[in-house]
Structure 1
Amino acid sequence: MRKRKHKVLNLAHRGASGYAPENTMAAFRIAKEIGADGFEFDVQLSKDGVPVIIHDEALVRTTGAKGYVIEHTSDELARLDAGVWYGQDFQGQRIPTLEQVLQTYGDLYLNVELKNSYHEMPGLEEKVIELIRNYGVEQNVLISSFHHKSMQTLHRLAPDLKTGLLYDCVLVDAVTYAKRLGASALHPFYGTVKADLLREAKAAGVQVNVWTVNDEEQMRLCAEAGVDAIITNDPQLLYEVLNSVLD
């Protein structure tokens, strides 16, 4: 049987967000059932310092509630409906905690994105590290953020954990920059990735994980170019594409 030249991870964006409400346990469960290698999700701190899983700083889009995540305690957030906006079948889905996700899906590859670019969240890095250690999933986790100083801090606190630098532009000397910050991976928008970046990253042992790729042809091009992971809203389609990309 022929095999692909290069293993490309299939990472469901905010869980299987094309099939279920993003960043919910339903979306994570479906991603696993589809056959994704893992999933990407977003972490913020609640008012009482609990790492919770939600993308937007404001609550309104996915829960209908007023205010910001950081203004509400974890108990208050747990009472919100994070699923009904997507469809009645998902009514009653809650905002998960990071602990719930690590406890349930620690066997998958987990891309934990810290959403600490808009609001300062002192202690977020330490709390995430502590939970990862508690559940012994260090080898299955990569932590990323658009807040590169946060990734530098996290690397200083836990140099054994993998970190990724998110960006949506053409980053000059990206591989050198990643190595300087101690990052294990670059997480560019897929449309900015060129062959020279992939060559330089591979030579330096830096992963290139691209986001958010939902088009079949773009998935194929990224896989054939040799990226390490593709983050997508449609892990079912990506699963089929990756199985068709052969030697």
Structure 2
Amino acid sequence: MKLKSLIITSALLFAACGCIQAQSTQVIAHRGFWKTNGSAQNSIAALVKADSIGCYGSEFDVWLTADNQLVVNHDSTFKGVNMQKSTAQQCTGVTLDNGEQLPTLQQYLEKARSLKTRLILELKAHKTPEQETRAVEAIVKMVKDMGLDDRTEYITFSRHATKEFIRLAPKGTPVYYLEGDLSPKELKAWGCAGPDYHFSVFKKHPEWIKESHDLGMKVNAWTVNDPKDMKWLIGQGVDFITTNEPVKLQEILQ
């Protein structure tokens, strides 16, 4: 009987540990929660819907326009309008698939102020370092002026922009690098909060997850839509998963 009780107790403890690990993985909606009625990628509706289902964060993309304004969109050219070569007025004249106008960053942040989800702001890689520096300066100022410093995290594929966010954002603001070509030790030396890499990078280098945690850093994997990949990453103990399927991921984590 004692052996049976020990086995049962061990099984319960193992299950409990698994639940704790699963619960520690947070959900980030990639370009907002757009795979639902009335939504579209990088729309304000997608931000609101990500908040409504309780996502830890909502990721979105930012460009600096030709007249040095900030707009929210993923592609460098969208519906015939090039974000870097066009004015903000030209960019915001584009209609998204849900009927919204392409938003400025100011419009996006104004709505975010009434929500709870964290803002995972990706600055797209621009043509020149000078453009990226202007963009980072304007973004950091706008986020501060909106009172959203404590809810905003910065991500980018650009090495220059990564270092500029670390230099200009308030101390302690999470800044993540996306390219996937630097080890945890290298990211730590830069001052990054951790690796934010495509999930395939972590399948190639699973040791980077533990190395990051040992260095006191967080780990995010993107863009993870297959339940098998979600479960593998949860089992590896990643801190965040960015996905186009936030509801599916939430169900797995329950």
**Do the structures match in fold with TM over 0.5?**
yes
Which residue in the other structure is 1:18 paired with? 35
Q: Hey, which of these two has a bigger chunk of helix by percent?
A: 2
Which residue in the other structure is 1:187 paired with? 196
Which residue in the other structure is 2:110 paired with? 103
Identity fraction in percent:
27
Task: Determine if contact 1:52/1:96 at 8 Å carries over to the other structure.
Answer: yes
1: CA distance, partners of 2:221 / 2:126: 20
Residue number among 53, 57, 61 corresponding to 1:38 in the alignment? 57
Unaligned runs of 5+ in 2: 1-15
Residue number among 53, 59, 73 corresponding to 2:72 in the alignment? 53
Q: Does 1:237 align with 2:248?
A: yes
Give the partner amino acid of 1:71.
K
User: How far is the alpha carbon of 1:117 from its aligned partner?
Assistant: 4.0
Q: Which has the larger radius of gyration?
A: 2
Which residue in the other structure is 2:24 paired with? 7
TM-score (norm 1): 0.85
Instruction: Please give the per-residue CA displacement for 1:69-107, whole angstroms capped at 9, x wherever unaligned.
Output: 122222222222112xxxxxx2x2111122222222243
Task: Determine if contact 1:198/1:226 at 8 Å carries over to the other structure.
Answer: yes
Give the partner amino acid of 2:106.
E
User: How far is the alpha carbon of 1:141 from its aligned partner?
Assistant: 1.3
Which residue in the other structure is 2:135 paired with? 124
Instruction: Please give the per-residue CA displacement for 1:138-174, whole angstroms capped at 9, x wherever unaligned.
Output: 2211101110121112211225121100024xx35x1
Give the partner amino acid of 1:4.
I
User: Higher mean Cα deviation, 66-75 or 208-217?
Assistant: 66-75
Give the partner amino acid of 2:64.
L
2: CA distance, partners of 1:149 / 1:77: 25
Q: Which structure 2 residues correspond to residues 195-210 of structure 1 after superposition, within 5 A? A: 195-210=206-221
Which residue in the other structure is 1:29 paired with? 48
2: CA distance, partners of 1:200 / 1:10: 22
Task: Determine if contact 2:62/2:71 at 8 Å carries over to the other structure.
Answer: yes
Which residue in the other structure is 1:162 paired with? 174
Residue number among 62, 69, 94 corresponding to 2:101 in the alignment? 94
Q: Does 1:75 align with 2:84?
A: no
User: How far is the alpha carbon of 1:30 from its aligned partner?
Assistant: 1.9
Residue number among 136, 139, 152 corresponding to 1:141 in the alignment? 152
Where 2:59 maps in the other structure, the secondary structure is: strand
1: CA distance, partners of 2:101 / 2:169: 30
Task: Determine if contact 1:35/1:236 at 8 Å carries over to the other structure.
Answer: no
2: CA distance, partners of 1:117 / 1:74: 16
Taking a change above 3 Å as real, the CA distance of residues 205 and 117 of structure 1, as seen in their structure-2 partners, is farther
TM-score (norm 2): 0.83
Which residue in the other structure is 2:8 paired with? none
Task: Determine if contact 1:35/1:239 at 8 Å carries over to the other structure.
Answer: no
1: CA distance, partners of 2:253 / 2:47: 20
Q: Does 1:175 align with 2:187?
A: no
2: CA distance, partners of 1:58 / 1:119: 17
Taking a change above 3 Å as real, the CA distance of residues 159 and 204 of structure 1, as seen in their structure-2 partners, is farther
User: How far is the alpha carbon of 1:209 from its aligned partner?
Assistant: 0.5
